Amino acid sequence: MGVIQTSDSDTATSDAEFCAEIRDWLAENLSGEFRDLRGTGGPGREHEFFEERLAWDRHLAAAGWTCLGWPVEYGGRGASVRQQVIFHEEYAKADAPARVSHVGEELLGPTLLAFGTEEQKRRFLPGVRSVGELWCQGYSEPGAGSDLAAVSTTARLDGDKWVINGQKIWTSLAHVADWCFVIARTEKGSSRHKGLSYLLVPMNQPGIEVRPIEQLTGTSEFNEVFFDDAVTEAGLVVGEPGDGWRVAMGTLTFERGISTLGQQIRFARELADIEALARRTGAADDPLIADRIDSAWVGLRVLRAHALRTMSEDTHDAGGASVSKLLWGNWHRGLGELAMAVQGAAGLVLGPDDMTAWQRLYLFSRADTIYGGSNEVQRNIIAERVLGLPREARP
């Protein structure tokens, strides 16, 4: 996947040149019509400047800054892991807007490269790379939550179509997505991880209804999605029918990949802003607050060290992705709690127009330990698949 490396010196020079290239490009292009997009979007704020951020994503694509790690034959740049890390960190340092197309680029694209047929790659990867088609993820269900093996949405093969019935929940950006990758039970009478299939389903059809879920923050980037005899082509199953569990686990691994390093830059900015607030208000003089700020700083370094370790070529820890989710989910939830502690009683008062950024952070970060796989599910994965402990009793 990486560039040819002839020596450590050549690699360092190549990486430095790549870093300068992306830094200069961002400085030049985050101006004019895109100037006001700095710092916009992201979890809990996906409603901000959505159309403008979509235009920005397409501007990135036109300049060749999407899908960097993909093979050149599929529209990528064949960038090394080091260069991908550089891109995500420089992008975050520039305070560039949160990406609208991240589900397609960071989840669906790598999944198709790893498990898809050549026909599927040729059909869908160009739309992901150009941001011509947006994607959402159909995993969680009301009766299953983060327990993916307990999904009950069904799909049956009827001639040349899969017919899908069921409900998904907490589906981010389903209201703007063109396609959804859906985990459905395709083998009647199957249970748990057996008999699941990974289907690619068009969202714009009569058999699909999307209902936004209003959150405590007042936004509604999450949705319920209802499938009532929705259809997709028979050939739009990734991997073999019944092999959806393996493919879905691959997607979850990609979800917790290189882009998390950019996420950590944003976390660091939030922490720095909280520390500055604590100094302005005098909250930093409280030893307990000061200790919590120091602990958050240490925790952020742990997040980075773990992310880099799991990306190294000689490390293929089966529980690495689950550990990563546990680490950042709990750290960020704790940061929201720290923000409220620093504000004190003032943090409990709603402003004249809307809640503050810190109140939004606190409320939305409560979900960090739930979405993308809850703490409980991640701990079970680590216990059973990594530590070899007895499986949890299930009905």
Task: Report the alpha-carbon distance of residue 22 to residue 28 in Å, rounded.
Answer: 10
Distance CA 341, CA 16 (A): 40
Strands 208-213 and 196-202: unpaired
The beta-carbon contacts of 69-78 under 8 Å, at least 24 apart in sequence, are 69/1, 69/258, 70/109, 70/113, 70/125, 70/129, 71/1, 71/113, 74/113, 74/121, 74/125, 74/129, 75/125, 75/126, 75/129, 75/130, 76/129, 78/1, 78/2, 78/3
Which residue in this structure is represented by tokens 């739309």? 127
Phi, psi dihedrals of residue 63, rounded to the nearest 5°? -90, 0
The one-letter code for the residue type at 208 is I
**Distant-in-sequence, close-in-space partners of 362: CB < 8 Å, separation ≥ 6:** 336, 337, 339, 340, 347
Would you say 59 and 26 are in contact if contact means Cβ atoms under 8 Å apart? Answer: no
Displacement of CA 97 from its chain's centroid (Å): 15
Among candidate residues 365, 356, 348, 338, the one with its CA nearest the CA of residue 275? 338
Q: Are strands 179-185 and 135-138 parallel, antiparallel or unpaired?
A: parallel
Q: Rounded distance, CA 51 to CA 57, Å? A: 10
Q: Are 169 and 206 in contact (CB under 8 A)?
A: no
The Cα–Cα gap between 111 and 211 comes to 27
Number of Cβ within 10 Å of residue 137's Cβ equals 24
Classify 103 as helix, strand or coil.
Answer: helix
The CA distances from residue 146 to 103, 181, 395, in Å, are 18, 16, 16
Q: Which residues are catalytic?
A: 255
